[in-house]
Amino acid sequence: MKYALLIYSSEAAGPQTEEEMMAEMPQWFAYTEELDSAGKNLGGEALLPAATATTVQVRDGKRITTDGPFAETKEVLGGFYIIEAADLDEALTWAEKIPASPYGSIEVRPVMEIPGA
Amino acid sequence: MRDFGDLELAEDCAQEAFVQASETWGVTVEVPDRPGAWLTTTARRKALDRVRRASSYKTKLEELETRAKRGPERSKAGELVDEQLALLLGCCHPALNLEAQVALTLRLVAGLTTQQIASAFLVDEPTMGKRITRAKEKIRAAAISFGPVDRDVLADRVGAVRHVIYLIFTEGHASRSEDEFVRGDLCDEAAWLASLLIELLETDVESYGLHALILLTDARRATRIDDDGIPILLEDQDRTQWDRDKIAAGLASLARAREIGRLGTFGLQALLASLHAVASSFEETDWPRIVRTYDLLFELDPSAVVALNRAVALSFSDGPAVGLAAIEPLRPHLDGYVYLHSARAELLRRLDRAAEAVASYEQALACNPPEAERRFIERRRDGLLDGP
């Protein structure tokens, strides 16, 4: 099974300054390395703040572009991993270990398997 | 990611143009005792125009262009547009919020200072500064291009530019400001931006329409408010004081728009403004043609506000009772709209239904109109209360 671990947090939570971010980095490297060496890491990215987001919708064949993330909520998507896990419990265990879990929320979503793809 | 030096360079250009304009203005234009602040504003405008074409600004623009040319997307010939247009399109990119689009356009294209923009939009300078900084951060982080724009998205993108220019104009024309109903400086900026747009897009019918609309409307500026800052009704304005040069330029742009193609919403509104501008008096106005023009506008923009304006025009072509009958069905749609109630009050007044007119003025006041309009409505209401 493939899972997407979607990392949400309030941008006011977690590391705020450059130094605090740098201080947290080793935890992220360690986590990613752990995923890698377990052969579970299928990819992922960290995202820039929601203020840099742009949302696109097509309505009646016309593109509508708006400033900002799709949902104006306090907790925003900050990054994601795509992992390989035997089942949800394994995925949840990996989610728990994500460095942002103490101040954010990790949404675990099974990745759709496209038959024949 | 694109080199974000583009944005800084663009800002340099605007800044430099502004500084040089101030200098040129001081040296070559006689500022002294001429009445009317708009004269000096126009002078600054003209100076700014000159400087924008002057060498150092051009050199920087060329540098901007050279940089943009290095990008891989420049390879497809025929899809490229003027660099200054690209700057305008970048400032009005739909990935930026509208407030940011307006602020950036005034900052980077019109060359206003952050402080000037802040005072124009009634916020303090740090707030406006933050708004601009946030917009620039997004431009950098999301890599919003200030480079060339593909022709197939140009029409949509230019629509956003026109929208921003129109917003700047309406803010100047009927300001939310407490102490100044008409802000000529913003009207001037909007007129200049619109003239820039038609210079860049010589065959764009709606941009000519916008330019014509702004000039034909702004021609009435000197007569729109009295000494107390209270609006004067169109029928009571001193038409000899309308700005003939602006009317002539507006009519020329409207004529050009009609040569190019079918008028859009801006063009039709310009046509409406032109019918007022060429009428020798309120009574001589071609009201039936105004009603027909509103019909065309309603086809493109079937909104209750357009229907309301049409109803008012109808009251002058076919009488107040007919106008009032056309307004009644709009009431549920525009209940919180000050102009519905004030227009209705005026028609009731003309029908000698004073008590109902007073009640309608009260409803207009309950919609919390801007200060100057509130005083205007109170004055109209009190005139009825004193009675003959």
| Residue appearing with tokens 């400087």 | B51
Task: Give B183 to chain A, closest Cα distance, Å.
Answer: 29
Q: Tell me how crowded residue B208 is: count the other CB atoms within 10 A of its CB.
A: 30
Of A48, A63, A67, the CB nearest to B96: A67
Q: Which residue of A has its CA nearest to B143?
A: A52
- Asked if B156's CB is within 8 angstroms of A67's CB, the reply is no
DSSP string, A60-116: TTEEEEEES-SS--SEEEEEEEEEE-SSHHHHHHHHHHSTTTTTSEEEEEEPPP-TT
Q: Tell whether the torsion through CA atoms of A8, A12, A13 and A19 is positive or negative.
A: positive
Which tops the pLDDT comparison, B122 or A98?
A: A98
CA B98 to chain centre: 15
pLDDT at A66: 87
Q: Which of residues 26-85 of A touch B (CB under 8 A)?
A: 48-49, 51-54, 63, 65-68
Interface of B with A (CB under 8 A): 94-97, 100, 134, 137-138, 141-142, 156
B142 and A66 in contact by Cβ < 8 A?
no
* pLDDT score for B176: 66
Domain boundaries, chain B: 1-71, 76-201
The more confidently predicted of residues B215 and A117 is B215
Average pLDDT over residues A66-88: 88
pLDDT of residue B55: 44
Instruction: Report chain A residues whose CB lies below 8 A from the CB of B94.
Output: 65-67
The DSSP bridge partners found for residue A107 are A6
**Between chains, do A63 and B156 touch, taking CB under 8 Å as contact?**
yes
Tell me the pLDDT of chain B (388 aa) as tens digits: 233 345 655 555 555 544 444 444 333 333 323 222 332 344 444 445 544 544 444 455 555 455 444 433 333 333 334 667 888 898 999 889 999 999 999 988 888 888 888 888 888 999 999 999 999 888 888 888 777 777 777 888 899 999 999 999 988 887 766 667 778 888 999 999 999 899 888 899 999 999 999 999 999 999 998 888 888 999 999 999 999 999 999 999 999 999 999 999 999 999 999 999 999 999 999 999 999 999 999 999 999 999 999 999 999 999 999 999 999 999 999 999 999 999 999 999 999 999 999 999 999 999 988 888 999 999 999 998 875 5
pLDDT value of residue B124: 92
* A110 interfaces chain B, CB cutoff of 8 Å: no
Range A58-68 average pLDDT: 86
B contacts of A51 (beta carbons < 8 Å): 134, 137-138, 141
Q: What is the pLDDT of residue B62?
A: 55
Q: Across-strand partners of A41? A: A83
**The predicted structure's pLDDT at residue B362:** 96
pLDDT > 70 in chain A, percent? 99
Helix, strand, coil tally for chain A in percent (to 5): 30, 35, 35
Question: For position B3, what pLDDT does the model report?
Answer: 36
**In terms of Cα–Cα distance, which of A47, A35, A42 is closest to A95?**
A35
- The reported pLDDT for the residue numbered B20 is 46
A68: pLDDT confidence band, cut at 50, 70 and 90? confident
pLDDT value of residue B247: 97
B139 min Cα distance to partner chain A (Å): 8
Distance CA B214, CA B368 (A): 26
pTM over 0.80: no
Q: What are phi and psi of B354, to 5 degrees?
A: -60, -45
- Minimal Cα distance from A53: which residue of B? B142
Give the closest of B97, B137, B141 to A67, CB-based. B97
- From A48, A65, A68, residue closest to B141, measured CB to CB: A48
Distance of CA B345 to the CA centre of its chain: 27
Residues of A in Cβ contact (< 8 Å) with B91:
none
